[in-house]
Amino acid sequence: MSTPGTGPDGSSWLTIGALARLTGKSASAIRYYEQIGLLPEPARAAGRRRYDPATVRTLAVIETGQRAGLALGEIKVLLSASPGDPAAVERLREVASRKLPEVVALIERSELVRDWLELAARCECPDLGQCPLFDEVELPPPAGRARPAPGYPPPAGPPVDLGPPRSSRGRTGGRRRW
């Protein structure tokens, strides 16, 4: 049964099932947040977890932080302040100041990719060898990848015949893997 109980101060406490329903989080996610220290260990009654109603707000902070792109460690820093602590707002500003340049760079890269894809969607070149979209690629590398060295790719030379593609018949139902 997932019905709220009454805590020692007379407030309504929530079972893990009730908390999960109120917040849209799974019970396993709630237990995981306890395990890594995002949520305090709940009180227990008859061996069952009982959560303070304030846990609903804490889970909302976790959810919002995740949607904003914060890592769980960053969210933990925000939650480490005691209630009413003005230092919590300062921590929020610090985390946001560190995260904002990453998001700005991601948006800029996404806009470049969108622009390139819009051009590619309208391409009327007879083949890729004649398509100017591949002459001077202005797209930044995906996050975490280094840029190619200057002069890479090497200048185009005569095509090299690598022979027919290998077949992986038997492993993929006769389809060729490239």
pLDDT above 50 for 169: no
CA distance 60 to 45: 25
Cis peptide before 40 (omega within 30 of 0): no
What integer best gives the mean pLDDT of the chain?
78
> Residue 101's pLDDT is what?
94
DSSP the chain: ----EE-TTSPEEB-HHHHHHHHT--HHHHHHHHHTTSSPPPEEETTEEEB-TTHHHHHHHHHHHHHTT--HHHHHHHHTSPTT-THHHHHHHHHHHHHHHHHHHHHHHHHHHHHHHHHHHT---SSGGG-GGGTS--PPPPTT-PPPPTT-SPPP-S-----SPPB-TTTSTT-B--
Phi, psi at 21, each rounded to 5° = -65, -40
Sign of the CA dihedral running 6, 9, 10, 11: negative
The Cβ of residue 58 has, within 10 Å, a number of other Cβ atoms equal to 18
Percent of the chain with pLDDT over 70: 69
Contact 76, 62 (CB under 8 A): no
pLDDT above 80 for 89: yes
pLDDT above 70 for 111: yes
Question: What token pair was written down for 128?
Answer: 């890729």
Give 34's pLDDT tier (boundaries 50, 70, 90): very high
> Residue 108's pLDDT is what?
92
> Using one digit for the tens of pLDDT, what is the confidence trace for 130-159?
888 888 766 666 655 544 444 444 444 445
pLDDT above 50 for 22: yes
pLDDT above 70 for 120: yes
pLDDT above 70 for 71: yes
Average of per-residue pLDDT across 64-85: 86
Using alpha carbons only, give the angle 92, 97, 101 rounded to the nearest 5 degrees. Answer: 140
pLDDT above 80 for 129: yes
Average of per-residue pLDDT across 76-99: 84
Percent of the chain with pLDDT over 90: 44
Average of per-residue pLDDT across 100-110: 92
